[in-house]
Amino acid sequence: MLPAPPCAIVIFGASGDLVRRKLIPAIYELARQGLLNERAYVLGFARTPLDDDHFRAGCHDSLLAHARTRPIDEQVWRKLAARMHYASADYSSSEDYARVSALLNALDERYDTGGNRLYYLATPPAQFEPIIQHLGEKLRLRDALHPPAPEDGAFRRIILEKPFGRDLSSAHELNRVLHRHFREEQIFRIDHYLGKETVQNLMVMRFANSIFEPIWNYKYIDHVQITVAEDIGVGARGGYYDSAGALRDIVQNHMLQLMALVAMEPPVSLDAISVRDEKVKVYRSVRPIRAGAVGAFAVRGQYGPGECRGATTPGYLREKDVNPASRTETFAALKLFVDNWRWSGTPFYLRTGKFLPQKLTEIVVRFRSPPLTLFQKQCEAPVYPNDLLVRVQPDEGISLRLNGKVPGGQLNIRSVAMDFRYSSVFNAESPDSYERLIHDAMMGDQTLFIRADEAEAAWAVVDPIEKGWSEDKAPPHTYEPCTWGPKAAMDLIEADARRWLHGDNQPEPIIACSL
Hey, which residues are catalytic here? Answer: 254
Minimum distance, C-beta of residue 249 to ligand BG6, in the bound complex (Å): 5
Identify the H or E element spanning 274. helix 272-285
Q: Could you give the string, one character per residue 401-440, with x where binding to ligand BG6 holds by CB under 6 A and - elsewhere? A: ----------------------------------------
Minimum distance, C-beta of residue 163 to ligand BG6, in the bound complex (Å): 8
* Number of residues near ligand BG6 (by CB under 6 A): 4
What's the CA gap between 129 and 120, in Å, rounded? Answer: 13
- CA torsion through residues 320, 322, 323, 326, sign: negative
Is residue 231 near ligand BG6 by the rule CB under 6 A? no
Choice between 378 and 423, CB closer to ligand BG6? 423
* Crossing angle between the packed helical segments 452-471 and 272-285, to the nearest 10 degrees: 20
Minimum distance, C-beta of residue 202 to ligand BG6, in the bound complex (Å): 15
Kindly give the pairing relationship between strand 156-160 and strand 117-121.
parallel
Choice between 249 and 440, CB closer to ligand BG6? 249
What's the CA gap between 412 and 404, in Å, rounded? Answer: 8
Choice between 241 and 384, CB closer to ligand BG6? 241
Identify any residues that bridge with 12 across adjacent strands, giving them in sequence order.
45, 121
Is residue 249 near ligand BG6 by the rule CB under 6 A? yes
Minimum distance, C-beta of residue 96 to ligand BG6, in the bound complex (Å): 29
Q: Is the separation of the CB atoms in 96 and 90 below 8 Å?
A: yes
CA distances from 52 to 13, 66, 283, 345 (A): 15, 21, 45, 58
Choice between 56 and 162, CB closer to ligand BG6? 162
Minimum distance, C-beta of residue 127 to ligand BG6, in the bound complex (Å): 17
Minimum distance, C-beta of residue 499 to ligand BG6, in the bound complex (Å): 24
Is residue 387 near ligand BG6 by the rule CB under 6 A? no
Which residues neighbour 480 within 8 Å (Cβ) at sequence distance 6 or greater?
303, 304, 306
Is residue 230 near ligand BG6 by the rule CB under 6 A? yes
Choice between 249 and 466, CB closer to ligand BG6? 249
CA distance from start to end of the chain: 56
Which residue type sits at 124? P
- Backbone φ and ψ for 417, nearest 5 degrees, come out as -120, 135
What's the CA gap between 478 and 318, in Å, rounded? Answer: 13
Is residue 362 near ligand BG6 by the rule CB under 6 A? no
Residue list 260-319, contact with ligand BG6 (CB under 6 A): none
Residue list 138-177, contact with ligand BG6 (CB under 6 A): 162
Choice between 58 and 233, CB closer to ligand BG6? 233
- CA gyration radius for the chain? 25
Q: Which residues bind ligand BG6 (CB under 6 A)?
A: 162, 230, 249, 361
